Chain A
């Protein structure tokens, strides 16, 4: 049941964060997570429902001073169609292409995917590989205050993040990857596209003379939060990407995963997939 007492659809960021200052606000973007969660009773509305889709200035994908900034309202379709991302961070386009259906991609926002904080969130894994930070905005001392939090430190539990009730996620930011940076993403579900990932793996690094450096490995749906697999990164760092290294990384990735049994897959099967995907993604990286 809805006991919403107030509906807002601000056009300006300052109005939005001012309205959130007292907490008790449910943020609505594309609604593709909020709808099913409230319909099923999994989640209650707060006193204020705030539609953020009209806020100006949060819908761009820009390269500014060597950093790529993606606004929270950008849809998964917007990411998939972005020429800039296709050139500079194609792993995001690759992940967008594997996301749900056309209809969902047209509605689903980047900010919603991150704030929903599913361990399976498909935009989160490539963004971890890109070492992104999220920008959180709030109203403080008569002005819009922003802070940045590393995406790696953003998630605390399924559906839980360090975002405060009075904060709006306004953008995702990462450094423009080096020329030699290569990254790939792979996910699986029982149906190819329209499915929450059973597991997903993203791996990236600078590929020079057949070896990877600055390696980042991220895995989805294998732990309570999206995971950076540091020991797999260490296994790969500076090594020639030969069959032996790839095998060692795959085995290690399987050990890092602490998946659950649920209706989508057993823990055993998920762990097996993590190994297979790690191997496949590394082979993709090598081929690039």
Chain B
């Protein structure tokens, strides 16, 4: 039996306490313990960004992050972006621009895009391309993704 420990943190604004094995990754905890399957597992090695979440405001790969390290922190996942009745503006822009195909990369892509747009109101196309380097999409070819994010950045100016 692997050693377990109890941790408490905030997830999408709610307080959560959960007992997990000490070597479990945050992604596994989200999907398999908490049933929050919005965040996706693809490579499991930090290469693709499908598992991107926010931790204390900054994006990280949840497949690499140990769940124990969530203790006392603030997490936001793709489920935390939308409000009661409406999609988040970044989600809506992806829909409006036809930037989503199979959609598997999109939770991570949108989390990272939202992070970039929020942190840099002057986000240029070059900044955006660099900022999305850790997010791989096998369908869209990225052009419409860039259009979708750029539209949000411009609307906020």
Contact = CB atoms under 8 A, between A and B. Distances in A.
Interface in B1-56: 2-3, 5, 21-23, 25, 44-47, 49, 52, 55
Given A4-B22, A35-B25, A45-B23, A104 B68 contact: no
A211 interface: no
Given A4-B3, A28-B66, A32-B46, A103 B61 contact: yes
A104 B51 CA distance: 12
B23 A9 contact: no
Residue among A4, A31, A45 having the largest count of chain B Cβ atoms under 10 Å = A31
Interface residues of A, number: 32
A102 B59 contact: yes
Contact of B23 (A2, A53, A100): A2
B3 A35 contact: no
B23 A104 contact: no
Contacts, number: 93
B123 interface: no
A193 B71 CA distance: 31
Contacts of A36: 45-46, 64
A103 B23 contact: no
Nearest to B45: A36
Contacts of A2: 2-3, 21-23
Interface stretch (B88-96, B99-107, B127-135, B144-152): B127-135
Contacts of A107: 60-61, 64-65
Contacts of A67: none
Given A31-B64, A32-B64, A38-B23, A106 B59 contact: yes
A77 B58 CA distance: 10
Contact of A51 (B60, B68, B133): B68
Nearest to B56: A106
A194 interface: yes
Interface residues of B, number: 33
Contact of B133 (A3, A77, A102): A102
Contacts of B22: 2, 4, 7, 49
Interface string A207-224: 000000000000000000
A141 B3 CA distance: 31
Contact of A102 (B3, B63, B68, B112): B112
Residue among B22, B25, B52, B115 having the largest count of chain A Cβ atoms under 10 Å = B22
B117 to A, nearest CB: 13
Nearest to B116: A102
B52 A103 contact: yes
Interface string A194-207: 10000000000000
A101 B45 CA distance: 13
A31 B65 contact: yes
Interface in A1-23: 1-7, 9
A24 interface: no
Q: Which 8 residue pairs are nearest across A and B when measured between Cβ atoms?
A: A101-B134, A7-B22, A35-B64, A106-B58, A2-B23, A2-B2, A107-B60, A103-B134
Given A101-B46, A104-B61, A194-B134, 11 more contacts: A1-B2, A2-B3, A2-B23, A28-B66, A35-B63, A36-B45, A36-B64, A49-B23, A100-B134, A103-B49, A191-B133
